[in-house]
């Protein structure tokens, strides 16, 4: 497919995206390729326009107990987190939905494990074959899941966050640095990876339009990372590599959702095999992009005054695109800046990002699970 230079005809609006907890109302233009293929193109460092999240469909079905426990269910059947959220996760750990925080937390004070070495005796591993896969597939395939969108499945509780659920925060933090517990932690994380791989394969079996997975594993506070890079490299990275290698072998992409001040941990995120990461805004994203933007698809931020005029919003969008929409070093729009996607800003961002990313000869073919092979004209230089 030959993607020409931007044309004003592309600004014809074909549909409107209703607002979500993550995005304001946005419009879909007459795109030269599908939204799904635009996301894939960005992962392949051959972006066509600046993706903003509206191209992605998040899928967290009820069939996975963690999604109910965490109060975050997105599927064809509506979900009320206040009345339905909370309860037991896949390991039987009890979570409580906190309405003011719009999320869940483990009921504290009675951790399952006092010592990480106890996990082999005390953990009851879930039997994922008993989950209602077929019923969920009938309800969501072709309805909630759309073949023209990039469908991504979040796994709400990753490795360190799972350890916190077993031990409470203080116990988990100590286990990560205690010489007498570290071997057990590493073995536990490895077994968790095996479980996650089985869950991934079940999703791929029952939901053919899935394109990627996102794993949640917070590593820091606003001030700093919880533990040293050496600790993460030793205990967490090998377990993550096992999962990301499996994703890549299936023609899928892996996104890490990890909150906190993680500048020190970015090399570990890359070493673990993640394809993308959306940093919180208290990170020095400008520096992270300069150092690592060619290795990791980053969520690039933006800011402008609340009373900015439409012309000022457009100026900001053009400046943003000129900085972050480089042909061989693309980004996606940072989730934490999503409130800035006004109609004027989004229109100008689309226009300028199309110009910055340039014309392309895009050849899309099915390889494994609809991964796009994208060929770009030789005239573009590495940046």
What confidence tens digit (pLDDT) does each residue in 123-138 have? Answer: 999 999 999 999 999 9
Which pLDDT band, with edges at 50, 70 and 90, does 375 fall under?
very low
Residue 232 resides in a domain: yes
Once rounded to an integer, what is the mean pLDDT over residues 223-240?
Answer: 97
Q: What is the CATH number of the domain that holds 212?
A: 3.20.20.210
Say what the pLDDT of residue 382 is. 30
Summarised one tens digit per residue, pLDDT across range 154-182 is 999 999 999 999 999 999 999 999 999 99
Q: What is the mean pLDDT of the chain?
A: 93
Which pLDDT band, with edges at 50, 70 and 90, does 362 fall under?
low
**What are 34's two structure tokens?**
């599908």
Residue 132 to residue 222: CA distance in whole angstroms = 39
Report how far apart, in Å, the C-alpha atoms of 364 and of each of 28, 57, 123, 283, 381 are. Answer: 21, 20, 45, 35, 22
Summarised one tens digit per residue, pLDDT across range 1-25 is 689 899 999 999 999 999 988 899 9
Hunting for tokens 């074909």 — which residue is that? 14
Task: State the residue range of the domain holding 199.
Answer: 2-65+108-361
Say what the pLDDT of residue 363 is. 61
Once rounded to an integer, what is the mean pLDDT over residues 101-113?
Answer: 92
pLDDT > 60? residue 329: yes
Three-state secondary-structure class, residue 128: helix
pLDDT > 70? residue 364: no
Considering Cα of 213, then 219, then 222, then 223, what sign does the dihedral take? negative
Summarised one tens digit per residue, pLDDT across range 238-293 is 999 999 999 999 999 999 999 999 999 999 999 999 999 999 999 999 999 999 99
Residue 198 resides in a domain: yes
Of the two residues 363 and 341, the one the predictor is more confident about is 341
Which pLDDT band, with edges at 50, 70 and 90, does 377 fall under?
very low
pLDDT > 70? residue 374: no
Nearest of 282, 332, 240, 262 to residue 35 by alpha carbon? 332
Which pLDDT band, with edges at 50, 70 and 90, does 360 fall under?
confident
Residue 377 resides in a domain: no
Angle between helices 343-357 and 310-324 (to 10 degrees): 30
How close are the terminal C-alpha atoms of the chain, in Å? 24
Residue 94 resides in a domain: no
Q: Where are the alpha helices (DSSP H) in 81-206?
A: 81-84, 119-122, 133-140, 160-177, 182-206
Say what the pLDDT of residue 321 is. 98
Residue 340 resides in a domain: yes
Following DSSP, what letter does each residue of 134-160 receive, concatenated?
Answer: HHHHHHHBTTTB-TTSEEEEEESS-SH
Say what the pLDDT of residue 361 is. 72
Residue 150 resides in a domain: yes
* Number of independent structural domains in the chain: 1
pLDDT > 60? residue 213: yes
Say what the pLDDT of residue 366 is. 39
Residue 81 resides in a domain: no
Residue 115 resides in a domain: yes
Report how far apart, in Å, the C-alpha atoms of 312 and of each of 26, 317, 318, 345, 366 are. Answer: 19, 9, 10, 9, 42
Report how far apart, in Å, the C-alpha atoms of 288 and of each of 120, 242, 264, 353, 381 are. Answer: 39, 25, 10, 21, 21
Hunting for tokens 């800011």 — which residue is that? 303
């Amino acid at each position: 497919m030959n993607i020409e230079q931007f044309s004003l005809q592309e600004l014809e609006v074909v549909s409107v995206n209703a607002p979500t907890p993550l995005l304001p109302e946005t419009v879909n233009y007459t795109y030269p390729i599908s939204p799904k293929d635009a996301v894939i193109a960005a992962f392949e460092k051959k972006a066509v326009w600046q993706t903003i999240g509206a191209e992605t469909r998040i899928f967290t079905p009820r069939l996975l107990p963690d999604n109910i426990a965490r109060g975050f269910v997105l599927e064809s059947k509506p979900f009320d987190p206040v009345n339905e959220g909370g309860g037991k996760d896949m390991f039987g750990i009890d979570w409580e939905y906190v309405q003011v925080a719009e999320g869940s937390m483990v009921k504290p004070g009675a951790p399952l494990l006092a010592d990480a070495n106890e996990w082999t005796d005390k953990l009851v591993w879930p039997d994922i074959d008993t989950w209602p896969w077929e019923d969920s597939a009938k309800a969501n395939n072709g309805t909630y899941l759309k073949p023209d969108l990039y469908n991504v499945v979040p796994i709400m509780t990753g490795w360190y966050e799972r350890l916190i659920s077993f031990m409470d925060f203080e116990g988990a933090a100590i286990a990560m640095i205690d010489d007498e517990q570290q071997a057990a932690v590493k073995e536990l994380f490895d077994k968790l990876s095996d479980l996650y791989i089985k869950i991934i394969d079940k999703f791929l079996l029952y939901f053919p339009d899935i394109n990627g997975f996102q794993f949640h594993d917070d590593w820091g506070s606003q001030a700093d990372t919880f533990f040293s890079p050496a600790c993460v490299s030793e205990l967490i990275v090998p377990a993550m590599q096992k999962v990301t290698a499996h994703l890549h072998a299936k023609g899928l992409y892996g996104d890490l959702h990890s909150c906190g001040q993680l500048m020190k941990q970015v090399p570990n995120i890359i070493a673990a095999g993640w394809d993308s990461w959306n940093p919180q805004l208290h990170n020095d994203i400008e520096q992270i992009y300069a150092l690592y933007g060619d290795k990791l698809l980053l969520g690039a931020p933006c800011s402008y005054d609340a009373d900015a005029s439409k012309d000022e919003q457009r100026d900001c969008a053009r400046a943003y695109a000129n900085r972050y929409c480089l042909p061989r070093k693309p980004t996606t729009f940072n989730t934490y800046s999503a409130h800035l996607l006004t109609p004027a800003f989004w229109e100008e961002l689309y226009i300028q990002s199309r110009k910055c990313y340039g014309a392309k000869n895009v050849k899309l073919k099915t390889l494994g699970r609809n991964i796009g092979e994208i060929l770009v004209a030789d005239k573009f230089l590495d940046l």
